[in-house]
Amino acid sequence: MTSRLEPGEFELIARYFHGMVRRDDVELGVGDDGALLTPPADTRLVQVVDTLVADGHFPADAAAHAVGHRALAVNLSDLAAMAAEPAWALLALTVPARDEAWLAEFAHGFQELAARYGVALVGGDTTRGPLTVTLQLSGFAEEPLRRSGAWPGDRVWVSGDLGAAAGGLRAWQAGWRDGDAHELIRRFLYPEPRCDLGAALAGVASAAIDISDGLVADAGHVAERSGAGLSLVSAQLPRAGALMRRLGDEDALELALRGGDDYELLFTAPPTHDADVEAAASRAGVAVTAIGDVTAGSGVRVDDQPAQGGYDHFGDGRP
């Protein structure tokens, strides 16, 4: 069923978010003009926001469940990179028409992930227009990580593996549907934010960023903000088995270096923290791999050659 969607209809939309997370620090959530929230004392508020546009950041024909998951996951990933504990979300939803089934599925995808990380939806807005999801997320950090702390001599680490999401997008666009392609598409549609790892790295890592634009591009951001160079070794890059089998070594390496949307954490830490890094990873239940070193100088080098990032999935010129 479709009908006209009026601004201010968010209260109606919020009803689809069954079993919303309740938090003691939310005095007023959805339903008033604004949310009333009380952050814990002696902590800092970390705020992130991300806009997803259909066919710019996800395929317009992706399942609404996956879109709901993704909207929250990409924001959680930014909080993870800051070692912040997620708390409150504000959602601005632009939809072409009021489609009950789509909204219910979207809310379900969002809600499943929100429940895992204790995120309360505390307000939002709806308008009619091309499908666009903007989510603002707040979290708390006692020892926030930044991009700017990498120091020559530090090791460069990455969580999980790289390239699978970009491989999944390629599989989706090519219409591949075998077992490996299915696994890659799942990795693309359902990114897993590394919140537990980010939190465990507080006080251990010297710098961190989440990999949204591709390894080389995001390593470049750390290099720039830290005033250092990052030297990576391609043979060390963790790559998923499904990616290697489906695309072969050469393409898998290219996607691991420049494919986006992995939402793994890239972080640096002095070698004296190796054992603490391994302990943090094991507490978080996430594999981590050392992939290079921080050097004096600037920019990113791969196998001792200067490297540029930049991978434009949808050809829309997104940054």
Nearer to Mg ion, 30 or 219 (CB): 219
Nearer to Mg ion, 78 or 262 (CB): 78
H or E element at residue 305: strand 305-307
CB of 147 to Mg ion, least distance (A): 9
- Interface pattern 24-63 for Mg ion (x via CB under 5 A): ----------------------------------------
CB atoms within 10 A of CB 114: 24
Does 161 engage in binding with Mg ion (CB under 5 A)?
A: no
Residue ranges in 174-193 that form contacts with Mg ion under rule CB under 5 A: none
Does 210 engage in binding with Mg ion (CB under 5 A)?
A: yes
Does 213 engage in binding with Mg ion (CB under 5 A)?
A: no
Alpha carbon 226 to its chain centroid, in Å, reads: 21
Nearer to Mg ion, 78 or 293 (CB): 78
- Among 78, 105, 183, 262, the residue binding Mg ion under the rule CB under 5 A is 78
Q: Which of 243, 61, 73, 254 is nearest to 168 (CA)?
A: 243
Applying CB under 5 A, what is the total number of residues that bind Mg ion? 2
212-244 burial code (b ≥16 CB/10 A, e <16): bbbbbbbbbbbbeebebbbbbeeeebbbbebbb
Q: Are 98 and 3 in contact (CB under 8 A)?
A: yes
What does the alpha-carbon distance between residue 200 and residue 276 come to, in Å, rounded to a whole number? 9
Where does this chain touch Mg ion (CB under 5 A) — which range of 72-80, 179-187, 232-240, 270-278?
72-80
Residues that bind Mg ion (CB under 5 A): 78, 210
